[in-house]
Structure 1
Amino acid sequence: MKHTTFTPMLLALALCLCLQQAHAAGQIDFIEGNVSVTTAAGQLRVPGRGETLDAGDAIVTGRDGEIHVRMDDNALIALRANTFLRIEAYRAEGGADDNAVFRLLRGSFRSVTGWIGKNNPKNYAVRTTTATIGIRGTDHEVLVVGEGEDAGTYDKVNTGETEMDTPVGKVSVLPGQAAFASRTAALPPRVLPAVPALFVATKNEAIIESSKKLLEETRDERLEQKQKDNVRKGTDSNGKPRIGEPEDARKALAAFEDILRAFEAGNVSLIRQKLDPSMIGYQQLLDNITQENNECKQMRVTLLNTQVQAGPNLAVLQTGWEKRCLLLPSFTPRLTTGRSTVLLHLGPNGWTFAAITGGSMLERSGPVVPGAPAGGPAARTLATLAVANIGASYAAAGGGVAPPAPLPFSITVTDPDRVGAASVTVTITTSAPFANDSMVLTLPAVTPGSSQFRVTTVSFSKAAAGCTSTNVPTNPASLEICPGGTATVSFTDTTTPSGAPQVVTQTVAVP
């Protein structure tokens, strides 16, 4: 899981990135051909559908390039081929200071304005080298020709109204009209007698129309939700910044608990729906969740001392946890504990799981087979003990004083918490009738790195005093017994689910 979890530093970085994305200018809905984006910091990238664009980004399309961007105020910009457009300023928080400023250096683009154009038209502008274009709730297209007798800025209005402004004059442009501002600074802008053939629709115009209809239908609803979010991000009754309403925290916590219930049930399909695909280690996390559910059955995860800080778009959850399960193949009870920090996003499909610190409840709990390295933080499993004999008459062997030969008697301790240890020790005691002897035995690991430790023979002898009430053990190299007695094997496990040492015992009859 090293590559599927976040250190606290990485989690903080992810949180910062989420905050940046929450204030992004728009999201790419459609992209085709050669398109690139350069950030305000000068970083160049080839964008993809679903990615966000920020204020300061410059978009460049090649001769076969086209890109449609759904802006945060439910506006739409669609860049044609051979276009260079920079998003100079953009803010869409639902307030009076919302603004949208674009600079078109070459080429053309279509702009369908959102709530900024409807409610704050003076805060919208398209700037070129020869003119500034303002709007009044508009679907319009701007074109810049850089050379030749047609050089200058053109603006065509589909719906609404625009105003083309230059240092020497301005004109209003109505639906079905086009205006022109020449590169010659002395000439004022003018409305053309007809829309010039320079405006050419692309093969994807139907996609723009469909997007326009949807954005216009949902514009007011989206603005209302944005304004509600702003109220929740405002100040409380004491004037202190408010992170979010309690309802945000409850919904985020409930979403994460849904993920945990799916994790317990091994429902990887549901977990996949709840994960942010852009998270670091997305596939590795899914693979490890699958392995954990194959190895650990009847799983239950309990959250402890959970704290949630949530806003309208993201939540940070800090929690302690306990995970209990039965570890295959022996169905050994296992408890793992830890503390984790979780980051969640709120998107179109609800709260999604975006990041988690290392040592999480989603990591593997333990070894698949004896000898495999133990996984998971603070692993504590109660050891198991197996004792068996072959039914031979051990009491008839030996004379009590001379050490007898070792006889078949198997003792096996299984303790995943002792993986890698060379040996463990057990105490074996014989009792009733009369012979009461004890000995500490060392059980070596079955194989190097194993979680199993075993001996297959134990030295027994008959009590020297003839199994009477006055018998006293006399041979320290063997265990003295009498016919009909028992042998009790004890192992002290110091790493238990409760955290306190626990003695595991098993008693067998010794004939």
Structure 2
Amino acid sequence: MAMRLFWWALLFCLATAQAAVVGRIEAAGGQYGRQDDAGASKPAMLNGVVEAGDTLITGSGGWMVLAMSDGASLTLRPNTQLRIDEYRYQAEQASESRAWLRLVRGALRSVTGLIGQSNRPSYRLATPTMTIGIRGTDHETVLQDHSADADTPAGVYEWVHEGESVMQVAGQELVVRPGESGYLPAADGALPRLLAKRPRLFERMQQFGREQGLDQILERLHDRGEGGFRARPLSPEQREHLIEQGRQAVRERIEALPPGQKPDREQVQKSVKQRLQKLERPPTLPRKRVGG
């Protein structure tokens, strides 16, 4: 127990100053990678960790499915770049949880987890031109930089499978509901609007997903809803696996520190023991219907 608490303490302390483990790479294919703040490559492998501050990248034909610490999933389509600005889940203090993501380019499908269910304002997906919030949602966002297809001019596209999302720009909000498509043109000063029909780019993404078996992967992680997926709490085994990955990452960081910079065991234990006792077995929130 003492050693277990010690590693928890080190994980907590180092996470505040460096990167915190926030999820894992559940599945991936084609070209994909992971970078730090400076753009340096980091290990990206199946079941490998994802940390706060990471930028996940897919190339042409590449894709990734990330399983996050609160039961959410993030599916990156080809030619996508996603930054995890901040991601932390605190079951006891929902107001302190954060899921702040930044879609730099490409396309993302997000099934929000317990963070979005317990504290909706704490979920935020930023793009270069707007921000997207949610109301318990399985949604897709696409940045279309340029296009020769008249059906999909440049801009940001939003499609909701289940729940609702909110496109926010210049103090204006557009609510996108299941089966609806939102669009923000790339022109300066433009405001989001609903489209009369779903753009073909979402049909192409669905076809790519069928070819790669992405729905089957999401079914491993989530419950099926009326139109999309609903997040479920992490199982004890999943949580323990994530914790162990965090411990290993901390061990590696400690070994890489110069002798004079390694943390003192007794000091670390004393400073965080009471807080970590609550984190030993964090309670799961009651299951909610996403979009309900």
**Normalization by structure 1: what TM-score?**
0.40
| Preserved contact between residue 102 and residue 125 of structure 2 (Cα < 8 Å) | yes
| Preserved contact between residue 69 and residue 78 of structure 1 (Cα < 8 Å) | yes
Tell me which amino acid in the other structure corresponds to 2:178.
P
* Equivalence for 2:265: none
Determine whether 1:58 maps to 2:58: no
Q: Is the partner of 1:78 in helix, strand or coil? A: strand
**Counterparts of residues 244-393 of structure 1 (less than 5 Å):** 312=280
TM superposition shift of 1:134: 0.3
Tell me which amino acid in the other structure corresponds to 2:214.
E
Determine whether 1:174 maps to 2:204: no
Match of 1:190 among 190, 193, 202: 193
Separation in 2, partners of 1:87, 1:69: 11
* Equivalence for 2:129: 130
Q: Is the partner of 1:48 in helix, strand or coil? A: coil
| Preserved contact between residue 99 and residue 122 of structure 2 (Cα < 8 Å) | yes
Query: Per-residue displacement from partner, 1:78-125 (whole Å, max 9, x unpaired)?
Result: 101110111111111222110111111111010000011111111111
* Equivalence for 2:162: 159
Q: Is the partner of 1:140 in helix, strand or coil? A: strand
Q: Is the partner of 2:200 in helix, strand or coil? A: coil
Provide structure 2 residue ranges, at least 5 long, that are not aligned to the other structure.
1-5, 244-270, 282-292
| Preserved contact between residue 29 and residue 49 of structure 1 (Cα < 8 Å) | yes
| Preserved contact between residue 117 and residue 136 of structure 1 (Cα < 8 Å) | yes
Q: Is the partner of 2:274 in helix, strand or coil? A: coil
Provide structure 1 residue ranges, at least 5 long, that are not aligned to the other structure.
1-11, 230-238, 249-310, 314-511
Determine whether 1:88 maps to 2:85: yes
Determine whether 1:71 maps to 2:68: yes
Query: Per-residue displacement from partner, 1:434-458 (whole Å, max 9, x unpaired)?
Result: xxxxxxxxxxxxxxxxxxxxxxxxx
* Equivalence for 1:219: 233
Q: Is the partner of 2:188 in helix, strand or coil? A: coil
Separation in 2, partners of 1:13, 1:244: 10
Separation in 1, partners of 2:114, 2:8: 30
Determine whether 1:99 maps to 2:98: yes
**Normalization by structure 2: what TM-score?**
0.68
Query: Per-residue displacement from partner, 1:263-286 (whole Å, max 9, x unpaired)?
Result: xxxxxxxxxxxxxxxxxxxxxxxx
* CA 240–73 in structure 1, closer or farther in 2 if over 3 Å, else same: closer
Determine whether 1:209 maps to 2:215: no
* CA 14–167 in structure 1, closer or farther in 2 if over 3 Å, else same: closer
* Equivalence for 1:441: none
Separation in 1, partners of 2:272, 2:46: 39
Tell me which amino acid in the other structure corresponds to 1:242.
Q
Tell me which amino acid in the other structure corresponds to 1:100.
A
**Counterparts of residues 359-508 of structure 1 (less than 5 Å):** none
Determine whether 1:24 maps to 2:33: no
TM superposition shift of 1:72: 0.6
Query: Per-residue displacement from partner, 1:226-253 (whole Å, max 9, x unpaired)?
Result: 9xx9xxxxxxxxx9842766xx9xxxxx
* CA 162–13 in structure 1, closer or farther in 2 if over 3 Å, else same: closer
Higher helix share: 2
Separation in 1, partners of 2:104, 2:223: 28
Aligned-residue identity in percent: 31
Separation in 2, partners of 1:111, 1:20: 28
| Preserved contact between residue 115 and residue 220 of structure 1 (Cα < 8 Å) | no
Q: Is the partner of 1:171 in helix, strand or coil? A: strand
Q: Provide the aligned length of Structure 1 versus Structure 2.
A: 225
Query: Per-residue displacement from partner, 1:337-388 (whole Å, max 9, x unpaired)?
Result: xxxxxxxxxxxxxxxxxxxxxxxxxxxxxxxxxxxxxxxxxxxxxxxxxxxx
| Preserved contact between residue 166 and residue 181 of structure 1 (Cα < 8 Å) | no
Q: Is the partner of 2:21 in helix, strand or coil? A: coil
TM superposition shift of 1:212: 2.1
Q: Is the partner of 1:141 in helix, strand or coil? A: strand
Q: Is the partner of 2:201 in helix, strand or coil? A: coil
Separation in 2, partners of 1:135, 1:189: 15
User: What do you get for the CA RMSD once the two structures are aligned?
Assistant: 3.3
TM superposition shift of 1:185: 2.2
| Preserved contact between residue 146 and residue 154 of structure 2 (Cα < 8 Å) | yes
Separation in 2, partners of 1:240, 1:137: 33
TM superposition shift of 1:45: 2.8
TM superposition shift of 1:157: 0.4
* Equivalence for 1:44: 41
| Preserved contact between residue 26 and residue 54 of structure 1 (Cα < 8 Å) | yes
* CA 137–208 in structure 1, closer or farther in 2 if over 3 Å, else same: same
| Preserved contact between residue 36 and residue 53 of structure 2 (Cα < 8 Å) | yes
Deviating runs (4+, > 3 A) in structure 1? Answer: 12-23, 214-218
* CA 77–161 in structure 1, closer or farther in 2 if over 3 Å, else same: same
Q: Is the partner of 1:209 in helix, strand or coil? A: helix
Determine whether 1:242 maps to 2:259: no
Higher strand share: 1
* CA 138–144 in structure 1, closer or farther in 2 if over 3 Å, else same: same
Separation in 2, partners of 1:24, 1:184: 38
Q: Is the partner of 2:179 in helix, strand or coil? A: coil
TM superposition shift of 1:312: 2.8
TM superposition shift of 1:40: 2.4
Separation in 1, partners of 2:173, 2:12: 42
TM superposition shift of 1:55: 1.2
| Preserved contact between residue 26 and residue 47 of structure 2 (Cα < 8 Å) | yes
Tell me which amino acid in the other structure corresponds to 2:103.
L
Separation in 2, partners of 1:13, 1:97: 22
